[in-house]
Structure 1
């Protein structure tokens, strides 16, 4: 069984703390460490391959947050995904590991294995459906038997979408049957930029997409029942009246994660499943043309090993500046925000979902600061705090879960409302 909080020296260990995202997680944990509802501050440490780089991260965080105590009080654990023993030592010291080392298809599994073997709960910010689903297929039973929770995609992919559906369902007066979400990212004069690690995940995920189809067959799942009218899929490109701009299907992990959550709620909680489609706004005609050109480059070069090598070597060129090896500037982060709008339909209280068309609608919204390094970091840390303080509200005794499945009976949405991510109802008819 997983060790309790009082037994291990650290509540949280941030693995990959010296990485681009990891350094933001360090700052957020430092800010939130004194907010524990139990009244006792969180005890935490940082981990990674280089002690020197970790020391530098703590020094920068101490200066930025005016917390000189960070450099003296926060312990450093040297651990490497290629050294199993070092991961074991790290996991033996933590109640929860926050894994920030990606791409997860290459570096995630050893950390999951070490957490399960050594009784530490595991959270990550993965947006790679193949890794997330494979971990569930191969490690759910082991994690369950060991009393360990493995919860992936606890960042922008996919907490806003997954918990946004749960929130919409909780606010709907009747039986919610279908939801479409539209993501809109607003950037400042310098534009939006993501880090190279996210770009790499996309490149290798596209190249190996055939394996995902084969992986899903191994689950042997029967299709979820369709309650109410079946929702027709939109085209690959369309003008959305809902957000008044062109939109395309969202190719991240959100649809995969939401569907897994809906299956869990249907099979374990006997809840009616919700049909879900995710889209992202791309702007006007000029943005659409630029996206088409970039997509064509990506599609063609992603087919060949040399093309994938070039894509990963020159992310800024091939993504038209949307991704870079240096990541966004602080100005870009400060000027960027997101909104995720949900348009749901279903049957009002007293109506029969098996008869006629849906007769009730709802619109909800999740808004937040910059998605990659502010909202993601806040979501991850609040998920970890929720796990630590509301373990009794999580399903079973352990296992591999989506955020929605793991946290559906907790106060995570309330916590997020107080930390950079806001849930609200726009209309309810």
Structure 2
């Protein structure tokens, strides 16, 4: 067998995969890495095209042939590396076979799934086996949900007290005028459609996965109205439809159960410049929620993504010109109590209202296919460098739980398309 690689990028010829290869040229430059997929010619073209874009010669990067429908090839691929970076989604269809291969091979795996049913089902089915095999299986290592989950890690490190709750507000903007392409590729849209269609599965999964309730919070962080104007970001806001809250709460549950740490409450929102924009997006969201419940509706959504997403999603995906001009920021407001008021037990209740706030900003460029790819690769690098700082010896974990005590935040800040963490106000 050939020499074992540090990292293999699986699904490298897909839309997300090829930009992960581009970022790997710099993020993984000190590691032995390869790419994998089922078509050698397409993989060779990815190395040629992304090498030219990165101004690096990638022609010597190893190519491994693996097919999601061929379990033997998946196992052989997993045995060739220490960390497998899985870019092959939707994960509810293609993720589990890769997880099984990694568990059998004793190989860590990271991916960019934003599908709660998939992530929580993998934890339910494979967490004990991952612990026994000393393997880390970590999803949500991209735009969903590294900024939010590691943002709360950053908040706790800088709060100097006890955090009760966090509200997160996503803002995006595009620099300059640019045309060509939509905001996300069809694969992301497909994951969203199937996630909404099968959202009812979460109740049963969670009833089995989370058999004990978290302690009651005091005061309770109540959700905001469906549409509201926030004084924190001076914008009209809606609930954030991504997986940030579910991922964050999985991390908080893990830290409570493993370290007896008081869980943080969290709600996530997305900000818009006007009431009209927010109302249009809300109407699209309601329409999606209805259409995904019916087979005919799902077929329409998947056949005409650009129509039903108001031009945001397409089979072609966004143009590079558009991607390079999009920036995002999460404004995260934490409320809690100063260190002098710390209680002895996480289940103890405060009698005084929270009196301390911390506002942070987590920001970066090209959220879908720049910062996401850097974040994904940075989690792989962190496992290679600092597995001794990660909890236990393995498990199926969200990123906040997995990387809370590592230097992942510093790793993310190193790169051109990385993610920056900063304090805006501390009162």
TM-score bracket relative to the smaller structure = over 0.9
- Residue number in structure 2 paired with 1:107: 94
* Contact 2:218–2:350, Cα closer than 8 Å, also in 1: yes
After TM superposition, the structure 1 = structure 2 runs for residues 309-348 of structure 1, keeping only pairs within 5 Å, are 309-348=299-338
Using the alignment, how far apart are the partners of 1:232 and 1:223 within structure 2? 18
Deviation at 1:232, TM superposition (A): 1.7
Using the alignment, how far apart are the partners of 1:220 and 1:407 within structure 2? 21
Is 1:258 equivalent to 2:263 in the alignment? no
Deviation at 1:61, TM superposition (A): 1.4
- Residue number in structure 1 paired with 2:423: 425
Partner residue of 2:85 out of 98, 104, 113: 98
Using the alignment, how far apart are the partners of 2:391 and 2:257 within structure 1? 13
**1:285-321 deviations in Å (ceiling 9; x for gaps):** 2212321332243123212111101101111111001
Is 1:386 equivalent to 2:388 in the alignment? no
Using the alignment, how far apart are the partners of 1:243 and 1:231 within structure 2? 18
- Residue number in structure 2 paired with 1:267: 257
- Residue number in structure 2 paired with 1:366: 362
After TM superposition, the structure 1 = structure 2 runs for residues 71-220 of structure 1, keeping only pairs within 5 Å, are 71=59, 73-188=60-175, 189-190=177-178, 193-220=183-210
- Residue number in structure 2 paired with 1:410: 406
Deviation at 1:33, TM superposition (A): 2.6
Using the alignment, how far apart are the partners of 1:300 and 1:253 within structure 2? 19
Secondary structure of 1:257's counterpart equals helix
Secondary structure of 2:168's counterpart equals strand
- Residue number in structure 2 paired with 1:395: 391
**1:230-279 deviations in Å (ceiling 9; x for gaps):** 12211111111211221111121111110010011111112111111111
* Contact 1:228–1:346, Cα closer than 8 Å, also in 2: no
- Residue number in structure 1 paired with 2:28: 33
* Contact 1:122–1:150, Cα closer than 8 Å, also in 2: yes
Using the alignment, how far apart are the partners of 1:411 and 1:426 within structure 2? 21
C-alpha spacing 1:112/1:356, structure 2 compared with 1 (3 Å): same
Using the alignment, how far apart are the partners of 1:178 and 1:89 within structure 2? 45
- Residue number in structure 2 paired with 1:17: 12
Using the alignment, how far apart are the partners of 1:354 and 1:178 within structure 2? 13
Deviation at 1:32, TM superposition (A): 2.2
* Contact 1:227–1:354, Cα closer than 8 Å, also in 2: no
- Residue number in structure 2 paired with 1:3: none
**1:177-204 deviations in Å (ceiling 9; x for gaps):** 1100000111243476111111111111
Aligned residue-pair number? 415
Q: Tell me the TM-score normalised to structure 1 length.
A: 0.94
Q: Which moved more, 1:133-142 or 1:184-193?
A: 184-193
Q: Tell me the TM-score normalised to structure 2 length.
A: 0.94
**1:312-354 deviations in Å (ceiling 9; x for gaps):** 1111111001111111101111110000011110011212561
* Contact 2:7–2:33, Cα closer than 8 Å, also in 1: yes
Using the alignment, how far apart are the partners of 1:220 and 1:9 within structure 2? 37
Is 1:356 equivalent to 2:346 in the alignment? no
Deviation at 1:8, TM superposition (A): 5.3
- Residue number in structure 2 paired with 1:66: 55
Secondary structure of 1:350's counterpart equals helix
